[in-house]
A and B are shown apart, each in its own frame.
Chain A
């Protein structure tokens, strides 16, 4: 996924949820952080994300921007709304690689 495609997903998620801060989980988090994005990371068409202050809205992301959705159908990339659940070995903070980014609201 290209950085501008990830940005589009986050803009769409922000518009959908009225949230303006998101956590990007997994390999796509590096897209935000690296000055040069490795080719392996641009081959993924999925971004795992959740609203930082309203993780329960991850379902809305799956429903509207998820695999097989109108969004996916139209743009070719899609979002997986990650739902956080307590884990015995998880003391707090975002899991795996993660990056947070505030999203300027549009529309």
Chain B
């Protein structure tokens, strides 16, 4: 990944997460733990189906406006996150939110809205990030749940959306 200074690097957080997963796989007795982790991520991604994530009305709205396809992709991503939401994912999102706030990445109002939501019961967080409302769309534009799904799962979602003709012409 290209950094702002032009260097290429892999984020430490991703390496640590991979290392943790590899250790867990080794502890479970896998002889080739890295391969087991990668295959496990692929298999989990392969279970994603668009029909389980977006309803027909939402899919039919794909041409409502030029940015709708990107909105549906974001909605689908967050619905998968909502299905899996646990304390660990909420803590990770909170850490990411605080880091972005400290780095001045988020406007104060948006950061405060996310902090209020992340302090709410898990069911409420899941409901808000899964909603196809303007408020939820605005919040998802600056989601701290980036990185909550694996790259394999993101790739699967993108492919599903493309296959269904859901991704993305220019805004008109």
State how many angstroms separate the Cβ of A62 from the closest Cβ of chain B. 6
* Chain B contact surface mostly: loop
The reply to whether B11 and A73 contact each other, CB–CB distance below 8 Å, is: yes
- Pick from B2, B13, B67, B172: contact of A87, CB under 8 Å: B172
Contacts of B106 in A (CB 8 A): 45, 76
A10 to B4, CA, bound (A): 10
Number of interface residues of B (CB under 8 A): 41
The reply to whether A83 and B149 contact each other, CB–CB distance below 8 Å, is: no
A12 to B2, CA, bound (A): 5
Q: How many inter-chain contacts with C-beta < 8 Å in the A-B complex? A: 117
Q: Mask for A35-46, Cβ within 8 A of B = 1, else 0?
A: 000000011111
The reply to whether A72 and B146 contact each other, CB–CB distance below 8 Å, is: yes
Number of interface residues of A (CB under 8 A): 47
A17 to B3, CA, bound (A): 16
A71 to B110, CA, bound (A): 20
Question: Which chain B residues in 74-105 approach chain A with CB under 8 Å?
Answer: 74, 77, 96, 100, 103, 105
Contacts of B100 in A (CB 8 A): 76
- Pick from A59, A63, A77, A83: contact of B105, CB under 8 Å: A77
Question: Which chain A residues in 57-103 approach chain B with CB under 8 Å?
Answer: 58-59, 62-63, 66-78, 80-85, 87, 89-90, 94-96
- Residue B40, interface by CB 8 Å: no
The reply to whether B155 and A63 contact each other, CB–CB distance below 8 Å, is: yes
The reply to whether B146 and A73 contact each other, CB–CB distance below 8 Å, is: yes
